[in-house]
Amino acid sequence: MKKNNRKDAIIVLSGGLDSVTLLHDKQDEIALAVTFDYGSNHNAREIACARRHCAALGIEHLVIPLHFIKEYFHSSLIEGAEAIPEGSYDEENMKSTVVPFRNGIMLSVACGLAESRGLSRVMLANHSGDHTIYPDCRPDFIREMSGAMRAGTFNGVTIDAPYTLITKADIVRRGAELGVVYGDTYSCYKGGEKHCGKCGTCEERREAFREAGITDPTTYETE
């Protein structure tokens, strides 16, 4: 990956494993991190993680509420822990966790913020494991959305999604090299104090550490 020494990027930072790794990975290029509070079951825990990582790296951090999503959109991810299906990440029932066009909305807001601040890139930590379930994580979407952002801004803002074609295990390996404290990232879609260990994202998280050959620091309820 090419090295860019200007701090000309804003990152969409959830506080999960993927985006926290990207934050550390590209910290020299990131001027601003933005986390969205859309009322998901796990939002509060994610936001707290995002805040701590930004503070540790000295990166400015904004939390932007998108309350209309919980009010008007349909998704099990915003309907309480009981609504979250258990089982592996690639099962059909994980479709219920899709928040319609969530990445489109977050990228658009980040794009407007970038244009307002004179920044030229929006970083997103989507990866290849997301493609099956989430249409707004796929390479096609990223390319088209980047084109729309470029066409719709004076500054020609584009998307930088360096993990699009790699796996979550690759991300964990990269983060381990960088010394990312994964105990301070949160993934579980149920949003409990401990990771439930049974929902699709917990399964995916466990598998990524296993596949990467890295010790998983997470405490799961199932253990």
The site for its own copies (CB under 8 A) is made up of: 62, 64-65, 67-69, 72-74, 98-105, 107-109, 111-116, 135-136, 138, 140-141, 144-145, 147-154, 157
Cβ-based nearer residue to its own copies, 66 or 169: 66
> Shortest CA distance to 167 belongs to which of 209, 218, 200?
209
Residues 38, 101: Cα–Cα separation, whole Å: 12
Cβ-based nearer residue to its own copies, 147 or 213: 147
Cβ-based nearer residue to its own copies, 109 or 123: 109
CB of 209 to its own copies, least distance (A): 29
Question: What are the backbone angles phi and psi of residue 212, rounded to the nearest 5°?
Answer: -80, -15
DSSP per residue over 101-158, as a string?
THHHHHHHHHHHHHHHHT--EEE----GGGTTT-GGGSHHHHHHHHHHHHHT-TT--E
Cβ-based nearer residue to its own copies, 60 or 177: 60
CB of 13 to its own copies, least distance (A): 15
Question: What are the backbone angles phi and psi of residue 157, rounded to the nearest 5°?
Answer: -65, 140
CB of 137 to its own copies, least distance (A): 9
CB of 200 to its own copies, least distance (A): 17
Residues 128, 192: Cα–Cα separation, whole Å: 26
Tokens of 182: 């994964």
Cβ-based nearer residue to its own copies, 12 or 180: 12
CB of 18 to its own copies, least distance (A): 18
CB of 5 to its own copies, least distance (A): 25
Backbone region of residue 195 per phi and psi (left: phi > 0; alpha: psi in -120 to 50; beta: other values) = beta
Cβ-based nearer residue to its own copies, 148 or 214: 148
